[in-house]
Structures are given as structure tokens and as C-alpha cells.
Structure 1
Amino acid sequence: MNPIEWKNNILYILDQTKLPWKEDYILCFKYQQVIDAIKKMKIRGAPAIGVAAAYGITLAAIKYTGSNLADYVHEVIGEFAVSRPTAVNLFFAIERMAKVVNSNKNLSPSELKILLLEEAKKIENEEREKSIAISNFGAEILPDGVKVLTHCNTGSLATIGPGTALGIIKEGWKRGKISHVYFTETRPLLQGARLTGWELAKENIPATMITDNMVGYVFSKKIVDLVIVGADRITLRGDVANKIGTYSFAILAKYHNIPFYVAAPISTFDFNLEAGSEIPIEEREQEEVLSFVNKRITPEGISALNPAFDVTPAELISGIVTDKGVIYPPFKENIQKLKEELKL
């Protein structure tokens, strides 16, 4: 299952707004189509967004016939940078594409285009390898017979590979460690109901969906043993930005003494930010909340708040599963140590 495919200088994007009803691919001939797909969440999930942006920049370069390719690519990068502000993987990918341009300005346009495509493919392959590594590291810490809760969608649709949090769940199921999976509906766009449910069904993993406001009830009845979620940005002190609702679930998990894990590749860490309060939170259109399945559910004249993410403080997190292993508290000290080891 791959949400993105590059073929014959066309980027194919699986339209996730149509799942689970229809598996339909968007054929992107222009980079503007890729930006539109990112903004409208036809492609979503931090790692997948980064890969899509890298290919979108490549697509722009390949289609360009002007005299100053380097300047043009930088303009395109600027457009991608404002497509979605919270997921740091987007900026990780576009910075790498910018580095290719800046380091090879002496090359001909055709040579530079080849290098950009190679870099985009490299980013894709690396994200796939990271996803597999996260799945394996995470499966190792799961107790036998565990019942897991996850939020939003963090599987193959959100990444390139098995996934982050959902990748751990898939691997845990293969190893016989997971007895049941609970997943949230994830309002307002139902990424859990539509996408996580779709992936779990394809893997034949026994699963039960709950609405977002049932989490406290489920915890109080001891139905769930452990929580695993993904992340869109992680700060130096270990604060995590993830799908709206994550913060509430982390507080409830802490109260009920339920381990709360986060799964994300190293590319999701923003080492330039100290605390979660510094993370820009994307505010999406009110209509997503005021409507349900494209039908208005509130009276005219009513407004809505629609932040796409919230921030979970480090002190509510049991561990962060990365492609380099599991990071435990004290997070700031151990994240800094990992950063130095990786020379990031």
C-alpha cells in the first residue's frame, strides 16, 4: 500500500479524502496539483507530506523550460513551505531539496533535474526504512496480549512503509503480541474511522472504533492497556504536536496509569524548538467542523474553532519510538544526546 508513486515524470497520489469508499489516484502533472493535494489533505501524514513535497519540487523543475532553474526551484519551495505549517517533515524534505540546488548551481539544468529526482527518491526510500525500523523497535516493547488504542491515522497512508504508531501495531499483531486494537473516529475529518479502519481491515487485525469522546470511558473500564500515537513535530524537550485530541488522551492516560507512547522518525524532531508552545498550530477552515460528510450540521451564524493539532507536554509521555530506538525520560537530555550522536 503506497500513497505516492512516481512514474514517467508523473506523481500519483492516492486521494485519501475518498477512502474507504473509493481507491482513486490523482495524476499530478504540475507541482500546483501536489500543493493542492497537501492543502486539501488528499495526501496527509507528516512523512508522506515530506515525500510528496520532494517529488512536487522535482516535478516543477522537470517542467521548467526557463533560463534560471535554481531561482525558480527556490520560488516553488517557498510555495510548498506554506502549504501546511505544523508537520516538520515537510520542511525537512524541502530543505534537502534546496541544498541540492544550492550545492550544484554550476551544473546544467538537465543535470540538476536528475539530482533533484535522485534526492526525492532517496527521501522516499529513507522514510520507508525509518517506518520499518520504528515498527520493529516499537513491537519489541509491547507486552504479550496487549490491547492498544491509537488516534488518527499513522499507517501506510501517512508514511512510506508500514507506518509509525500503526506500523508498530501491525508488527505487534504479526508477532502475536496484540490481542485487540481500539482506534478513535478522529473528528472532524474521520481519519481514524475512514483510514485507520481501512488499513486494519486490510490487515485482518481485530479492531473496534470508538468516538473521540469515549476515550475516558474506555480507560476507566480498563479496556485498553497502552496508547500509541504518531507525531507531526517533536521539540528538543520532548513536547509533541499531533492530531487534535492527543493532549486530552494523554492526560486521561496519565490519570489512569496507562502507558502513553509516541512513534515518529528522527525527521519529525525539530531541534530548533525548545518547547511545544513554539510550534505553529495549523488552523483549518471552519466548515470542516460545521459540516459532517459535506452536510451542514449547525445553524447558520454559528462559528467554529478548528485547530488541526494540539501539543502534548513531555511529562505525559512514557517513551518516543524512533527509527534509532526508543527514547525515554528525561527526554531533553536523551534527545540532545541522540542529536549529538547523529551529528544533527
Structure 2
Amino acid sequence: MFNLFFYKNKNIIVFFILMTLSIASIAFRSMRAKDLLSEVYNFVTLPFAELLTGTTNTISSLWNNLLYYNERLEKMKLLEKELEKKQASFENVELLQQEINRLKKMIDYKAVIPKLVPSSVESIAADIVMRSPNNYFPTFIINKGRHHGIKKSMPVIAFQLLRREGHPETLEQVVVGKIDQVTELAARILPITDPDCIIHVKLKSPLYSEYTGFIKGFGSYSQGLSLTNVDKSIDLVGEETLINEELVTSGEQSIFPRGIKVGFIKEDLSDESSNEKRFRVTPHVEYSRLSSVFVLKKELPKQLMKLIESMR
């Protein structure tokens, strides 16, 4: 019976089988085409997608780093400002401490002066408020003048630590110069390095203390001072020379009290044909470290002033 049914409907059954196979073949081919297209698409687009993803990640990382460093930079700027404020505060404290130390020294110096300078000589403490930029003919302005009792030609000294090779460091009074011009509240100092500043000095050593001369400047600090009018017949002990011998004020023919340190002999400039000895002298005063001075209220007799003026 089954065979009879198959026989009668064989065309329909064959058609159905063929139709099913055709549909299956078409579906299979369609799936393979889609897979192929997908593979080609992935092959072509995947590198670009990976490149785009990597670039995006890199840009994102760089942006985040930029934001981070910008934030750190802002914090560093704030810290720098705070540091500058603190540094300025420390500098102010340091300047204040320097001023306190300077005032203490001024007080100490004031107490020492009567021991070093004859008690009969009154002194006026003053600060240097201006100095000439001209190194060849330097001048200094102090904050005391006629109102404080200062007059022209009064001697000016200072206290400085003397630093010489082979000698201990000591605090000494040294010659600075003399008052050159005076106003009501200020005065100008003519330094000893100026050719117009002439001071009578003597050798400090007991062996040669009777020998004297006149000091005047060459014009600049680097050139030092000129010592003239020294007796050529000076009797040196053994093979000694006068090099490095110290000079102090003689107290004679001068407004300066006796014994204030001036400098030391650096070089012999004597001429064999001359009847006097001449030397180059290095001054003790260091103008670069000079901030405070003392003006001694002492004046020369008018006749002696005229004599010194005639020697210039």
C-alpha cells in the first residue's frame, strides 16, 4: 500500500525533495557569502579600528597627564609664592639682625673710644648715607652736619677689623679722612686716598718712631697712599727694611690725635738723587666695608691750616 502511495505521488515527492535541497543549498551559499563578507570587512576595518582605539587611548592618557601636570604646576606656583614671601620675611629678619648688630657695635665702639682717643676729644657718630660711584676720587656723605657740631676739616675715623697676613685679627681705629664740606644736616668726607688729604704720620715701631713724614693719596684706593718727607738718613737695624712697617698719626701738625692707625709701607719709591725717602703705603681702612664713622671734634689752629694749604 505504501508503495502504491509512493508510486501515485512520486512526482510530488520528488519535487518536494528537490525544492528542499534547493532551498538548503541557497541558504548554505548565503551563509558562506555573509561569512566571507564579514571576514573581509573585519580584515579591512580591524587595523583601523585598533589604530583608532589606540590613538583615542593615547590622546585620553595625554590629556589626563596634561591636566595632572597643569594642576601640579599651579600648586608649584602657589608654593613658590609662599616660599618667596617666607624668604622675604627671612631677609627682613636678617636685615633687622644686621641692623641690631650694627647698633650694638656702635654702642660698643662708643664705649671704647675714650680709651683709644684722648678723653678731651669729643666724637660724633655718623652713618654713611651716600657714596660716590667714582672709584678714582671716592667721596662719602654722612647723616650729620653743622647742626650736630661738625665743621670743615674735622678728622674722621672708623673702627674696623684689621686683617693682615701673619697678624691676629684685631678691632682697631683707623683713619678714614677728614670733613671736606658741611651742610646743616649732612657732611662730605674727603678720604685719605685723595691727594688733597694730607696727614702727618710716624713709624709705629719703637726702633723708628722718631721718623715722620706726610701721607697723601695717589687718587684711588688701589694705588694706595704716598709717604714723603722721610729722612733719608734713617738708620735701619741690620738688614731690615721699612717694608710692612706700620704708620700711625703723629699728633703733630695734624688734626688727628696721636696713635691712630693709617696703614703699612708696601713699596720703596725712593730716588737715589733725592734727599728724602718716599714709599707707597697701603691704607688700613677698607671703604667697601665702611658703613659708620666717628667725626672727632678737633680743629687745627688757623696758622697751621694755612701752612698745610700751602703744601698742596
- Scaled to the shorter chain, the TM-score interval is under 0.3
TM-score by length of 2: 0.28
From the two aligned structures, give the one with the greater strand fraction.
2
TM-score by length of 1: 0.25
Larger Rg: 2
